[in-house]
A and B are shown apart, each in its own frame.
Chain A
Amino acid sequence: MPTPTPTVPSPRTWATDDLITVPRLRADVANAVAFLGQKPLFIGQGNAGASMPNNTDQPLAMQVELTDNWNAHVTANTNGATPSQVWAPVPGWYLCRCTAVFAPTASTAYQLAAGFAGLVNGAAYGPVRGGLVIGGFSTAYAGQCVDLIEQVNSSAPGGGGDWIQPTVWQDSGGALSLNTGALTLPTASVRWACALSGTQPLPVPPLTAVPSPITSAWMNANVRDALRFLAYPPACKALYTPGSATMPSNALSTAAVVPCNTVALDNYGGWSTSTFTYTAPVAGIYIFYGQFNLTTSATATTYAAGLSVGGGTTQWGDVITYAPASGSSGGATVSRRIRLTAGQTVQLLGAQGSGGALAYATSAASQTRFIALWDGI
């Protein structure tokens, strides 16, 4: 981790006669650059070809650390921490991605998924899966899962704080081994994305030239508010709380808006639980991720997930098909970085071609969700 250990920026307000002293600059500016330039980031891989049991959301042990800049992870059981856990070094919302790849088999089709579990404010979280993907056919298909997970209590590994754990799942009917190919290892990343609380709404940092003399107004806009914005940017996570919603059988050209009706995080008030639309509160580049999971389809079914900006042409992510053998649910995922102007809207759309309406999955694990995170001017 950076030395000395920085903290989540909490910059001072500058009064008219405040002196720009070295301690103040170090506390606000040097600390902020150290933190925001090296935010907690963990990337790990499982390279042991672990055997995963049938129909169980199994922790992904990561023996390989590609990076662990805040020492949030251990590669062997240590002080109560395991290689599948990533412990929160500082509180915040963490953007997480897990890619699950099993060794290819030629057996009957099965389904697989990546996911996350963990501890949030001392309470169990998940497991929640990404989109469900078919396996088999001698191809090492990969399951994707992105989640935005809250971490309230920080600690070193095994220190009693919150933690995040990537998981993998499959329903082949027996145990299956994870892939061991060097370029196709199951991989997970966990990175700090946003403070738990902060000041909003704020404008995008103005980044104007330094005046002479330097004024308190400039310091407040370019230091205090800029740091507050960068540490607490617009972020949103909306879920579908199981009810009676269904997705009609449709084509890509007639895709349906995915009804994420519950807000887990929306610090700038961008999400509408009635129109299921995210309205960009400020301009910039946003990270978007969406997924849906539907109940069983008895027939070979196409699933597709996409994003529409301002009601325009849907930009598709996964467009995939299943020929279900075990009757599991199915879905799709999409992730993009998209540039928006303030006020532009984004919707998560889905399509499925089963021939009849399918209900959204009701199990807690087979979640439907939408994520948005401002990531730059």
Chain B
Amino acid sequence: MTGTAPAVPQIPAGYAPFPADITAWITAPFTFLATKAMFRAQLQGAQALGANAYTVAEFDTILEDPYGGWSASGSGSQGAWTWLVPPGCSGWYEITMTGLTASQGVATSAVGTALWVNGSEYQLGSMSPGVNGNTSGSEGAVLVPLTGGSDYVAMHIYSLEAVNTPAVAGRYPSCEIAWIGS
């Protein structure tokens, strides 16, 4: 079920509504408010991360993408491994990101997440001290204004050392995107 970000219905005076009017004024906006544009994905395979660098998360498991914004290969102006904001769904979005890495093997390591918008870094999501000898994880969120049909976003994972993401259930890097308001 998809829709567009609702405009406030303009209900003219002296007018007896037809069912089609009620659909436009009630059903369509309420449907969007209850089933917002959203996206959830995980990276379940082991992806190599560069040292002291942000690496785009190449999500291989799309949990849900009802608006079809995800592209692993890119299309037109949309970059690869990004989610395109659905046309008609401009607004503020919350993007929740969890980055995890395999053991970085040093005592003072770091793992983090950041949001890229239209191919450029937009904002840090999180940055946490990693664990020597175990999985490291870091969670955070970014709230960002996005334009439907043109803006696209990507989650990047920061690792201080060159390691893989963990291919272990429960330790998959993940990203969730949701419209939160006009």
A226-B34, A316-B100 in contact; A2/B8 too (CB < 8 A)? yes
A317 contacts partner chain B, Cβ-Cβ < 8 Å: yes
In the bound assembly, the distance between CA atoms of A99 and B174 in angstroms comes to 19
Q: Known contacts being A41-B181, A316-B100, is A335 close to B15, with CB within 8 Å?
A: no
Chain A contacts to B: CB under 8 angstroms = 2, 20, 22, 25-26, 29-30, 32-34, 36-39, 41, 43, 66-67, 69, 97, 99, 101, 133-134, 137, 139-142, 144, 183-184, 187, 189, 191, 204-205, 207, 209-212, 214, 222-223, 226-227, 230, 252, 285, 300, 302, 304, 306, 313-323, 333-337, 339, 353, 375-377
Known contacts: A29-B9, A313-B170. The answer to whether A141 contacts B127 by CB under 8 A is yes
CA A303 – CA B158 in complex, angstroms? Answer: 19
B11, A139: Cβ atoms closer than 8 Å: no
* Given contact pairs A33-B29, A226-B30, A319 touches B137 in the complex (Cβ within 8 A): yes
Residue of B nearest to A317 (CB): B139
Contact B9 A101 (CB under 8 A): no
Query: With A377-B1, A377-B35 in contact, is A38–B182 under 8 Å at CB?
Result: yes
* B132 is an interface residue with CB less than 8 A from chain A: yes
Majority secondary structure of chain B interface residues (helix, strand, loop or mixed): mixed
Closest to A229 in B: B34
Segment at the interface with A among B43-51, B78-86, B116-124, B146-154: B116-124
Residues of chain B having any CB pair with chain A under 8 Å? 1, 5-15, 17, 19-20, 22-23, 25-27, 29-31, 33-36, 38, 40, 63-64, 92, 96, 98, 100, 107-108, 110, 112, 114, 121-132, 134-141, 143, 145, 160, 169-172, 174, 176, 178, 180-182
Cross-chain contact B19 with A212 (CB below 8 angstroms): yes
Query: What are 23 contact pairs spanning A and B, CB under 8 A?
Result: A25-B17, A29-B11, A30-B9, A43-B143, A66-B143, A99-B124, A137-B108, A137-B110, A183-B122, A183-B124, A184-B123, A184-B124, A184-B127, A191-B180, A230-B33, A316-B137, A320-B137, A321-B129, A321-B131, A321-B136, A334-B98, A336-B96, A339-B64
